[in-house]
Structure 1
Amino acid sequence: MSDHGVETRQFGHRARLALSPALALKADDQAHAARAMWNLLHAWWQLMPTEKRTLANADAAIRQGRDLNITRVHRRWGMVNLPKIGRVRFRWTKDLPVGKHADKENRITGARLVKDPLGWHIAFRVQTLEPVPKPHRGPEIGIDVGITVPIALSDGQTYEHDAWLTEREQARLLDLEQRAARRKKHRKPGERTSRRLHHTYDQIAGLRAKAKRRAADWQHKTTTKIADTYGTVVVEALTITNMVKSAKGTVDAPGRNVAQKSGLNRSISAEAWGRTVTMLTYKLARQGGTLAKVPAPNTSRRCSACGFTTPGSRETQALFVCRNPGCGWSGNADHNAARNILHLYRMGHALIPAAGRAVARRAQRVKPATAR
């Protein structure tokens, strides 16, 4: 046991199910039945008086997944009981508290089935009792996220990746998208979508899901390495929803460079910066580290050597040249931005989360106790 005590941790783990065509059909039928029951319960809930609404309990009962009877039968496979489906295999990629390793504090509290374009999965709810981590003694680091260089660190390191789909897969995806567009073009207004077009849509969704899974895998591995190495990670407080707004404009005031902005928006969404920050947040907390955010303005235009800020310093996407006559420093633009991010944190410009500001306001309103 750690000197800092123990804490209860709850997390989810998703595993791929190995279903035969017959079992997959059963799972589809159960999903349709569950959806119909949910719709009926929701309609009933809306008709009931407020004080008698108990849909939350019904929802918990539907998704509880009791009596899973999970066992590990192989290094790569486990078995689980699924109600109305039977005993099926799932891919074992993470140690789970089952069998002799399970107790009141370390156990699987439930599960639910999830279907995506790549097939059926089971999502476990896991509860464990773990030692409270000691403060991470790793160094501080600033991180700049981008498109050409996905992650650049203030110490000069970079984390990059290849395209999520191979050239053959990209060509296949383009062919399917063009095929779907042709078939949709020849469909008459009000005509039902053909099975052939539905099949094409399923193939497109499968390739996109494969790319998304590879991106998430790369993010998990990268953020785990960063959380293991550094004690404090500093990032920009980016408002991503504003950054990916369309430049189309209106009829009276049409936008400019709409196609270029659309391509930029797709690239930003593909990198999933918000998911990277979310992963870093909980992984650092489990390692005893912290994640801080600083204001984003001018981190790319400020010279990290002399502090001079000018709009023309970033000559290209990769090169930064300081326009200060007394400096003239040049270097990688992403590393320069990452150093500026770390500098803002060290100068005390870290942003307080909304929850922290609320606590501070409540503390200011509390009157000091008077002596009696």
Structure 2
Amino acid sequence: METVIRSRAHVARLNLDKAQTALLDGQAHDARALWNLLHEFFTFRQGKLASLKDCDTAIRQARKEIDWLTDLPAQAAQAVLKTYYQAWKNFWSPEHPAKRPKFKARGRARMSVDIPQGRDLQITRLNRRWGLVNLPKVGRVKFRWTKDLPGVTKAGPAGRITGARLVKTATVWDIVFRTETTVQAPAPHQGPKAGMDRGVNVPLALSTGEHLGHGPWLTDGESRRLLRLERKAARQRATAKKGTLRSERLTRTYDQIAKLRATAKRRAVDWQHQTTTALADRFSAVVVEDLRIANMMASASGTVEEPGTGVAQKRGLNRAIAGQAWGRTVEFLTYKAADRGGRISKVHPHGTSQECHRCTTITPGSRESQSRFACKNLRCGWIGNADTNAARNQLHRYNKAAGQVVTGCGDSPVGGSVKRQAPRSAARAAHAPRAAA
């Protein structure tokens, strides 16, 4: 059978002491500062953009003249240059609508260090729970062994590790291994197709009528503690003098908040991984709406001349949308479905929540509430869950585009364009017998 090379990433937690953590923090700050120096050299060079060769020469010269830049490994410095140039390519390319590269702020940029060469890692396994990895200018470091890595042990899959990236999450460091494995090309998935509607009250609703939900990411005690810490941080900011550096007490409070939020994110990612794996195993195609999530989360504050309305409500809705991480769910499902011979398809989202999946009409007032849909078309009258109705509309649009027969879960075939139905009062008047002249 045909074989393909599968590129994946594996995240593991590093077990660092205080000295090693300080070294990695310093390297991450050096990498951020090098990015800023490159950005200044690239964009403010007498009105002319610098070439890749000029940037490489400037880096080599800067490492000779600036002492603290030598704390960053040479390979990591070259990786910063490669990432910076790739950011400009993504900005210029019409296929990657990325934002223009800009300076990275110290307190906002994500701290990371790249190790582009896999041979520098020298990975060995200690026991069932721990492994050893070599980090340039840091030394041998233990990491949590949760999965067999390709090319490391005999029991592991065939392949190799091409490199790694060190990323700081809250107050701890993780290592992200870049792996390549040789696997057989997947056969086409033979399972059924399903539509999937993403929401806030119901995280995932399937066209089969199933609702996939989850509880809060933090326990009641953790939520209360997070609220106390956020109020404490607000008091500490209010009493701080303007123009002074952040106090150590406020820094510790921020670190405690970051730990709790990182815990919530890990639990959310774990639920998304388990849910998307089950969906990819079960369905041959999953149809979702092609949502512009960034546009949906735009602020409603408006301008000084024209202030917006319902700003607090919109802010709460934006937080709820961000908490569900709709884009990450689709991202996980995309590569998992491809590994199993399935696919993810996107359809236009216009009217999926107002259209009845059975009669394909949009009748005013059919969406009675957030969870209830009752078709006001007198010839239909379907009543059910609004999220399930939207998911079935997505599946119908996918089948219609593929030229397949679309049915409303056992009802008559659906085809043609969406029809807008008159209100119920007008429909009754149209079907009522005429009065005698």
TM bracket (short chain): 0.7 to 0.9
Change in 2 beyond 3 A, CA 1:315/1:169: same
Normalising by structure 2, we get a TM-score of 0.74
- Matched to 2:78, the amino acid is D
Q: How does 1:274-353 map to 2 (within 5 A)?
A: 274-348=327-401
- Matched to 2:366, the amino acid is S
Comparing 128-137 with 42-51, which one deviates more in the overlay?
Answer: 42-51
How far 1:30 moved relative to its partner?
3.4
Comparing 118-127 with 227-236, which one deviates more in the overlay?
Answer: 118-127
Could you say which residue in structure 2 is the equivalent of 1:21?
Answer: 18
Q: Which deviations, in whole Å up to 9, do the C-alpha atoms of 1:165-208 show, x marking residues without a partner? A: 11111111111111111111122221221111111111111111
Could you say which residue in structure 1 is the equivalent of 2:93?
Answer: none
Report if aligned partners of 1:11, 1:126 keep a CA contact under 8 Å in 2. yes
| Helix, strand or coil at the partner of 2:134 | strand
- Matched to 2:116, the amino acid is Q
- Matched to 2:7, the amino acid is Q
Question: Larger Rg: 1 or 2?
Answer: 2
Partner Cα separation in structure 1 for residue 241 and residue 20 of structure 2: 36
Report if aligned partners of 2:352, 2:394 keep a CA contact under 8 Å in 1. yes
Could you say which residue in structure 1 is the equivalent of 2:51?
Answer: 50
Change in 2 beyond 3 A, CA 1:158/1:176: same
| Equivalent of 1:117 in 158, 170, 176 | 170
Could you say which residue in structure 1 is the equivalent of 2:305?
Answer: 252
Partner Cα separation in structure 2 for residue 45 and residue 102 of structure 1: 47
How far 1:102 moved relative to its partner?
10
Could you say which residue in structure 2 is the equivalent of 1:77?
Answer: 130
Partner Cα separation in structure 2 for residue 183 and residue 51 of structure 1: 46
Partner Cα separation in structure 2 for residue 45 and residue 247 of structure 1: 36
What percentage of residue pairs aligned between the two structures are identical? 54
Could you say which residue in structure 1 is the equivalent of 2:222?
Answer: 169
| Helix, strand or coil at the partner of 2:268 | helix
- Matched to 1:24, the amino acid is T
Could you say which residue in structure 2 is the equivalent of 1:269?
Answer: 322
Report if aligned partners of 1:70, 1:98 keep a CA contact under 8 Å in 2. no
Change in 2 beyond 3 A, CA 1:166/1:118: farther
How far 1:34 moved relative to its partner?
4.3
Q: Which deviations, in whole Å up to 9, do the C-alpha atoms of 1:287-306 show, x marking residues without a partner? A: 11011111101111111222
Partner Cα separation in structure 2 for residue 45 and residue 302 of structure 1: 52
Could you say which residue in structure 1 is the equivalent of 2:105?
Answer: none
| Helix, strand or coil at the partner of 1:99 | coil
| Equivalent of 2:79 in 50, 60, 83 | 60
| Helix, strand or coil at the partner of 1:234 | strand
Figure out how many residues of one structure are paired with residues of the other and give that number.
347
Report if aligned partners of 1:118, 1:209 keep a CA contact under 8 Å in 2. no
Structure 2: unaligned runs, 5 residues or longer: 60-74, 81-113, 404-437
Comparing 68-77 with 149-158, which one deviates more in the overlay?
Answer: 68-77
- Matched to 2:51, the amino acid is T
How far 1:151 moved relative to its partner?
0.3
Report if aligned partners of 2:41, 2:55 keep a CA contact under 8 Å in 1. no
Change in 2 beyond 3 A, CA 1:190/1:126: same
Change in 2 beyond 3 A, CA 1:329/1:72: same
Partner Cα separation in structure 2 for residue 21 and residue 286 of structure 1: 40
Partner Cα separation in structure 1 for residue 14 and residue 364 of structure 2: 53
Comparing 53-62 with 129-138, which one deviates more in the overlay?
Answer: 53-62
How far 1:52 moved relative to its partner?
2.7
- Matched to 2:140, the amino acid is R
Partner Cα separation in structure 2 for residue 101 and residue 52 of structure 1: 42
Partner Cα separation in structure 1 for residue 198 and residue 378 of structure 2: 29
Comparing 218-227 with 90-99, which one deviates more in the overlay?
Answer: 90-99
| Equivalent of 1:187 in 240, 258, 261 | 240
| Equivalent of 2:256 in 157, 181, 203 | 203
How far 1:131 moved relative to its partner?
0.9
Report if aligned partners of 2:41, 2:50 keep a CA contact under 8 Å in 1. no
How far 1:69 moved relative to its partner?
1.6
Report if aligned partners of 1:30, 1:84 keep a CA contact under 8 Å in 2. no
2:188 equivalent to 1:135: yes
Change in 2 beyond 3 A, CA 1:59/1:72: same
| Equivalent of 1:126 in 172, 176, 179 | 179
How far 1:269 moved relative to its partner?
1.0
Could you say which residue in structure 1 is the equivalent of 2:28?
Answer: 31
Report if aligned partners of 1:118, 1:210 keep a CA contact under 8 Å in 2. no
How far 1:41 moved relative to its partner?
5.9
Could you say which residue in structure 2 is the equivalent of 1:152?
Answer: 205
Comparing 204-213 with 138-147, which one deviates more in the overlay?
Answer: 204-213
- Matched to 1:232, the amino acid is A
Q: Which deviations, in whole Å up to 9, do the C-alpha atoms of 1:206-264 show, x marking residues without a partner? A: 11111111111111111111011100110011111111111111222221111111111
Partner Cα separation in structure 1 for residue 26 and residue 299 of structure 2: 40
Structure 1: unaligned runs, 5 residues or longer: 351-372
2:286 equivalent to 1:233: yes
Report if aligned partners of 1:295, 1:349 keep a CA contact under 8 Å in 2. no
How far 1:349 moved relative to its partner?
7.4
Could you say which residue in structure 2 is the equivalent of 1:355?
Answer: none
- Indicate the structure whose relative CO is greater, using CA pairs within 8 Å and at least 6 residues apart: 1
Partner Cα separation in structure 1 for residue 212 and residue 152 of structure 2: 39
Alpha carbon RMSD of aligned pairs, Å? 2.5
